Amino acid sequence: MLTCNRCGRPSDDFTCTLCRSVERERREDAEREERAREEDVEREERAWEVSRANAERAAEARFNPGDYNCPECLYRTLRKRASRCPMCHAAVGVEYWNLIEASEKEAAARAQAAAKAAKEQWDREAPARAQAARDAADRAAQAARHISERAARAAATKRNEAISDTFRVV
Ligand SMILES: [Zn+2]
Ligand SMILES: [Zn+2]
């Protein structure tokens, strides 16, 4: 019989089971605390990240409160057809808005043309699509027919075998 190095009680090892379990609990407590600390740090980092993103968005909105860019300071500060930039106070000419409007019209026309072309292509390909669907349905029906024929043949073979077995027995 040995004695425990820690408590001096008789033991079957250098450390007794009681001292070993006390030690294990101490280690587990320390690990739990460490994990909790790490989670706290992560939570703080996440909160900081969110508040930084919010601040950036707020700053972005403050410097870009409008729908259109000012041709002078280049921030997005202008409502449509505004005559003055609220940020840099530059006068915004009618020509600028005419230019904007023309390019908006062109973009809209282009988008409309693209949508029309896509629709036409879709319509043009409709017969081929319908044919492909019919072909797929035919193939599926054919496959189903093959399977049922094979099953019927297998059943017939089994029946014939059973009949010849019967004759053999007789
Ligand atoms: Zn002990
Ligand atoms: Zn401006």
User: Angle between the 126-169 and 94-124 helix axes, to the nearest 10 degrees?
Assistant: 30
Would you mind telling me the total number of residues written for the chain in this entry?
170
Residue 136 makes CB contacts below 8 A (sequence gap 6+) with: none
pLDDT reading at 166 higher than 60:
yes
Residues around the ion ligand 2 (C-beta < 5 A): 70, 72-73, 85, 87-88, 90
pLDDT in tens, 50-108: 999 999 999 888 888 899 999 999 999 999 999 999 999 999 999 999 999 999 999 99
What does the block give as tokens for 79? 């409502």
Q: Enter the pTM of the model.
A: 0.43
Domain boundaries, the chain: 1-63
* DSSP H stretches of helix in 11-170: 17-63, 94-124, 126-169
pLDDT band at 161 (very low <50, low <70, confident <90, very high): confident
Q: Are strands 10-11 and 68-69 parallel, antiparallel or unpaired?
A: unpaired
| Ligand 2 midpoint to CA 85 (Å) | 5
- Mean pLDDT for all residues in the chain: 92
Could you give the percent of the chain with pLDDT greater than 70? 99
8 Å CB contact between 78 and 89: no
Which ligand neighbours the alpha carbon of 66 most closely? 2
- pLDDT of 170 reads 54
